[in-house]
Amino acid sequence: MEAKKHRNTHRGAFILFCVFSFAFFLLFARFVQVQWTGKAEGEALAEIAQQQHKQTRTIEAKRGTIFDRNGVILAQDVPSYTVAAIVDPDDPRRVADPEETAEKLAPLLGMDVEQMERILTKKAKQVEFGSYGRNISFELKRKIEALHLPGIIFTRDTARFYPNGMFASHVIGYAQKNAKNEMVGKMGVEKSLDRYLRDKDGYVSFASDAKGFRLPEARERTIAKPDNGANVYLTIDAKIQTFLEDAMNGVEKQYKPKKIIAIVADPKTGKILAMATRPSFDPNKRDIANFLNDAISYPYEPGSTMKVFTLAAAINEGVYNGNETYRSGSYKVGPNTIRDHNDVGWGTITFNEGVQRSSNVAFSILVKEKLGEDRFLQYLHRFHFDQKTGIDLPNEATGQIRYRYPIERITTGFGQGTSVTPIQQIQAATAIANDGKMMKPYVIEKVVDPDSGKVVLDHEPTVVGEPITAETARKVREILETVVTSEHGTGRPYQIDGYRVAGKTGTAQIPSASGGYLTGRENYIFSFLGMAPADDPRLLMYVAVQQPRLDVTETGAAPVSQIFTTVMKSSLQYLHIEPSKEKSVETKLAAQRALDSLVGEAAVTAAEQLKKNGYVPVVIGTGRYVERQLPRGGDRLLPGERVVLKTDGAATMPDLRGFSLRDAMKVAHILGLRPSTKGTGYVVSQNIRPGARVRQGDYLIVELAPPRQWEEMAAKKEQEAAERKEAGPHE
């Protein structure tokens, strides 16, 4: 029995030995196979091991920067950072002490300590802190890094930044990240040149240990090089654009118009130096009310600025005689009657005066009787009003030449019926300013590879036509200058001291949704197309203001001229274009007239006579007859100047607010006052209240402010005075 049990034990041991020996043999054979082939389950083990110990790092590329023509940055990539925390308990890089980390980090991010601690104790591998930890600055990142908190990491990203905010926004446009985290242009130059501006990240790999840390002597291997986007240089001049933006902001605030459109161009080359519209937006915020650039995408009936090209056509064809007369007021075209803007006209006047007064009848005669409708249509094509300019911006529109009916052919001559875009008018006007050569407008100066410095796209000035001769262009400019300088000229508000300006005003009707046109003194698009210096224009500018809120004493020229004169004068001075002093004086002297002596005349009669002759009377005193006047009889002065009349009654102080220093001194001199001034510009306050009696030798103290500020300061002074009066006397 004992021997049998012993045999069974040996048999069992033998079986186990065989089983283990077989298993060992299989494992050994597998080991030999793996060692021999280097593969397991068809996979190369060396490659798997390499992948487990290899990490990749992104080398971020940079989207191209957008510059103005002088290298001022208008759009660029800037780094942004997001704070995160590793909280995986199996990761050696994790947050070591959530409570301490929260106490130190929360104040820097503006978070509640308990709130951060709850986030740091979540069951996750990695956590973020919501909006508190996103888009932090580089300075804040450095402060956090200085705390040396374990587990706190940063992810780097880029954001598109527009340093000037609302600045040529519809030209520059904007770019933003898409679903693939790629920066893509969505508007303006950012969109049209996206293929040049776009970047592509690069990658490098390096060996690491099992925990992901880079091995001490591991070398990086480049997988793909980063491809930076190309840099774009615009024709926009940041300085001139700033002049324009500031002027438009002032008009928008004061007049609250529906739209403002303005373009400044170099007529010799077609370069757009400034372009802006209202409403606009800040591309950093993308608070966009209008996605279209109205300067190139908004066709409308231009009004009388179109007369510039009708006049050019008539002169070029040799059918214009400026001294020839016609009967203004109305003109029949079939069953329709065309009327001048004052309905009754100005009697029989010359065509030159008709241009100055912006007579619709004069231009109707030029189209129908002088040029002929077919020949005028040829000039509309010559000036390219039938096609886009091809400016290098997206979404350009074109107007529509309405020439089907006889009345449409005539009204097109003075800017009604047919529609055009502002940029079409700028292109056509370059032919007037550039001695007959019409230049294609453009905003892209060049595109440059940032790494090699190679110019990959370069724009040169392009002549797109010669619709008129150089002699015609010169004659047109001479006549358009009289629109600004003549006593009858509608362009008088656009005069710039020291510079000769040539241009044409426009008052365009706005079609009504119910048919016809809107009515009311404000329901127009008021505009001006001007150039300076008139003899050899260096700048060409178009300004349009739609439906401004005007004061009862104001015309549509007020907001338009505020933009034009401010921007044009500042830009000419910035470009070091010397004022044409001698010619400016000659022009002024030609417009001056000798003033009649009004001493002894009835004050009421004298004031009426001055108004009739275009002067502004200032009557001082309670008497009936004029005792003294300034300027004196025989003195030469321009229409629109103030003439001070002192009567024989008690002397009283007039309201000087809004007076120039020169006019205020006239009052002081005629009353025998001792003047004292503070500031420059126009009077905003005076120490002697209006209506108060004055005596010779009294002190007159006036405070002055620049033109753009005097109305605001005057209103503030009035408010302060009213508040003092309401409060009553106090100790």
Of these residues, 304, 561, 580, 685, which one is catalytic?
304
Cα-only R_g, the chain: 39
Q: For residue 652, give the DSSP letter.
A: B
User: With 0-12 CB in 10 A as exposed, 13-18 as middle and 19+ as buried, what is 590?
Assistant: exposed
Residue listed under structure tokens 């390499």: 50
Task: Quote the strand ranges of 87-220, DSSP E.
Answer: 126-128, 152-161, 174-177, 183-187, 202-207
Q: What are phi and psi of 316, to 5 degrees?
A: -65, -30
Amino acid letter, residue 189? V
Q: DSSP string spanning 238-305?
A: HHHHHHHHHHHHHHHHHH--SEEEEEEE-TTT-BEEEEEEES---TTTT--S--S-HHHH--B--GGG
Respond yes or no: is residue 80 known to be catalytic: no
Is the distance from CB of 367 to CB of 409 less than 8 angstroms? yes
Is the distance from CB of 625 to CB of 606 less than 8 angstroms? no
Q: DSSP string spanning 381-441?
A: HHTTTTS----SSTT----B---SSHHHHHHHTTTSSSBB-HHHHHHHHHHHHTTT-EE--
Residue listed under structure tokens 């933003």: 176
Distance CA 626, CA 517 (A): 49
Distance CA 160, CA 175 (A): 7
Length of the chain: 731
Nearest CA to 508 among 362, 696, 311, 298? 298
SS3 annotation, 444-492: EEEEECCCCCCEEEECCCCEEECCCCHHHHHHHHHHHHHHHHCCCCCCH
Write out the catalytic residue numbers.
304
